[in-house]
Each structure stands twice: as structure tokens, then as C-alpha cells.
Amino acid sequence: MIKMEGLKAKLYQSCMDFILQRINTAETALQQAQEASNDDTKSSAGDKFETTREMMQQDIARNKGLLLDARQNLALLSSLEEAVQGDTAKNGSLVYTSNGIFYISISVGQLKIDEQQIFAISAVSPIGQLLTGKKAGESFSFNKNEYTIQRID
């Protein structure tokens, strides 16, 4: 097993904490929605009952979707722990550019680690797609800004 060190290990842990919190929140919301649905008894106002029941079912389905997405992100993130890095940007890479630092992992957004602003992005995000496969010295444009890759860890 390859051990991450330093900044990359801290980024990985921040992303892991983020996704575990999302899973916990989704599980709690799903449990509450299911309990509310089970506790709901049919009233004499039939249409109102059916509308409420449908809204509860939609809430349950939405929370199941959020939970599934979070678990998929957890699986992806877990696979990065042992990712072997090379000179090409890919999942698990920490990419230093002329306009910011990007951690290609899961979409978390901006993180502040050791006084540095780093963007945790997904490889399938628009900027993640532009970064993936690039090497140090290569450039690309995103949102009318020019980026040059300085190094990849």
C-alpha cells in the first residue's frame, strides 16, 4: 500500500471527512423520511393524503439518490489512496497551475489546507476534463483564463 504524505494526505482526509458527512446526512434524512411515511395515517381528506404520501415518496427517492451518489464518491475516493502517480494528471493527482492548485478526486470545491487554497474537483467536471491527461508545461483555457501546469504530484 502506498502511503500519501503531507499536503496530499491532508487533502485526501478533508475529502474523506466531507463525503462521510454527506453519507451520514443522507442516511439520517432517509431514515427520517421513511419514519414520517410510516407514521402517516390516512385522513378523511383523501386527495390531501395522496399528495402528502407522494411528496414523502419523492423525498425518500431523492435521499436514496443522494446516498447512492455519496457512496459512489466514497468508493472513488477510497480507490485514490493507492493510486500510483506519474507525470500525467489523473484521479488522485495534485496539479499545480499558474492559476491555482487542483486535487483531482471528488467534487468538494475550495479547501484551505496549510494556508493554501486548493480546489478538490472531479475528473468529470469541466476543468477536471481539461486537466486529465495533461503534463507539466502544458496549457489550457478555462472560463477565459489561461492555465499552465507547473507540476503534478
Average pLDDT, the chain: 88
pLDDT per position as a tens digit, 33-71: 888 777 765 544 555 556 777 888 888 999 999 999 999
Among the listed ranges 5-14, 26-35, 82-91, 128-137, which one has the minimum average pLDDT value? Answer: 82-91
Ramachandran area for residue 93 (φ above 0: left; ψ -120 to 50: alpha; else beta): beta
Q: Rounded CA gap, 117 and 121, in Å?
A: 13
pLDDT for res 1: 35
pLDDT per position as a tens digit, 67-104: 999 999 999 999 987 767 789 999 999 999 999 999 99
pLDDT for res 53: 75
Mean pLDDT of 115-119: 95
pLDDT for res 48: 58
Q: 139: which strand partners?
A: 148
Confidence of residue 2 (pLDDT cuts 50, 70, 90): very low
Q: Rounded CA gap, 55 and 139, in Å?
A: 48
